[in-house]
Amino acid sequence: MGRFLSLLQHFFIKKDRTTQQLASFVRTVTGMIPSNLALYKVALQHSSIEEGHTSNERLEFLGDAILSAIVADYLFKKYPLKEEGFLTDIRSRLVNRDSLNGLARKIHLDKFLHYDTNLVKRSGHKFIYGNALEALIGAVYLDHGYERCQKFVIDRLIVNYVSLKELIAHDTNFKSKIIQWAHKNHLQVVFRILEEKQYDYYKEFTAQVLINQKVMGAGTGRTKKCAEQMAAQQALQYTEPVEET
């Protein structure tokens, strides 16, 4: 009965233009009519806009866990003969900050996210769109349940926008690559965690990679491993000139 009343409200209650656009966006992206539009409003509300609003951080926390579970289940069934290391690596590539940021832009979520541009730039938040995508997944889960949320993630996001074949072919273990390169060239490589920030529902780490005591790359991530991978990716841009000397 509750869902039926929500659908009646969706069709017959007059909405302002912004609300109509949000409802249309959710329907287009998820393939489902939102029963509780307020959830999606919160999902697209960044913490940089605080006064009188609820930020999307709690939904982001929930969506992160739901997404990880859905992707793990999907990969486990799709690759029944693959070992744990392979599955962990592919899942990490699918749900890392850069991938989610790009995916959020592909579905045009960036056009609907509310945030303070100046505050976000000053704070150095680089992954607000990917974080909002996780919040959106959390909203879909609360609005429609796990099975329909699972269908949204797999059918609407992974199948439409992710090439697993390319993902598998493209080795993104940047830390391993930089270590191998350094050893080959008889150079010392050190990874160092510079900073650990605690937000309401998650941590953010900043890492550096030093080659022969010179800083060659820096990166941030939700885990130390992700931060180190980003730092290593940046450092790899400078490996060729060093190798030639």
State the catalytic residues.
64, 134
Evaluated on CA atoms 11, 28, 94, 239, the torsion sign reads negative
Burial class from Cβ neighbours inside 10 Å (0-12, 13-18, 19+) for residue 23 reads: middle
Contact 189, 182 (CB under 8 A): yes
Closest CA to 221 of 239, 196, 242: 196
20/34 Cα distance (integer angstroms): 11
In order, the DSSP letters of 17-59 are HHHHHHHHHHHHHHSS--S-HHHHHHHTB-TT--TT---SHHH
Closest CA to 45 of 55, 58, 57, 32: 55
For strands 214-221 and 189-198, give the pairing.
unpaired
Q: How far is CA 114 from the centre of its chain?
A: 17
